[in-house]
A and B are shown apart, each in its own frame.
Chain A
Amino acid sequence: AQSVTQLDSQVPVFEEAPVELRCNYSSSVSVYLFWYVQYPNQGLQLLLKYLSGSTLVKGINGFEAEFNKSQTSFHLRKPSVHISDTAEYFCAVSGSARQLTFGSGTQLTVLP
């Protein structure tokens, strides 16, 4: 069985400040890890993914994440956020069965 914990339900941050959204997972098998973003009343858009290889993963819109196997974490970071980054962010894990298990989400609010 797999599970995902997103440690912060809401993260307010000022524009142009750095941000980190935290994600921890548990799994008994090798995993694939993902971050998705969801804007109001829309589906999910893939930000980045870790399938194998380099533990530092770069995604769209300037986001990056680091896979840490020993700490079972996959935190999302951006060095400088914009108003347009305001959205709900979901961390997800996929094991051998391929379906995604999502965390409960982190609402990122970028303040002017």
Chain B
Amino acid sequence: DTGVSQDPRHKITKRGQNVTFRCDPISEHNRLYWYRQTLGQGPEFLTYFQNEAQLEKSRLLSDRFSAERPKGSFSTLEIQRTEQGDSAMYLCASSLLVGDKAYEQYFGPGTRLTVT
């Protein structure tokens, strides 16, 4: 078990460009979450998947953001027409849901996005 991995670790882009991040969860985990963390703040929930189904999206997730989890394995988070306010650490986490019992979330190292 190699844990949750994210790629890339760092991304610098110019305002207006599109970016895509990838998250590979722990293999047996059926839930996958995306969070955003700005400097000096705690992570804020963006969206989560149960297998391949996207079950909830935060109001923070504007229409420039889209997330997918094809086949219930890895997930991608795309930001279109990036803005300077999108600069943040994007964290992915995964967990195991069995019946109605949810277990703890394990986080990846994050992707730090800088929009210039």
Contacts and interface: CB of A to CB of B under 8 A. Distances in A.
Interface of A: 4, 32, 34, 36, 41-46, 49, 90, 92, 94, 97-105
A34 B45 contact: no
What secondary structure prevails in chain B residues at the interface with A?
Answer: strand
B72 interface: no
Interface in B70-113: 91, 93, 95, 97, 102, 104-110, 112
A103 B44 CA distance: 9
A57 B90 CA distance: 29
Interface in B9-47: 31, 33, 35, 40-45
Tell me the interface secondary structure of chain A in the complex.
strand
Given A41-B112, A104-B42, A94 B107 contact: no
A11 B67 CA distance: 37
A90 B43 contact: yes
Contacts of A49: 104
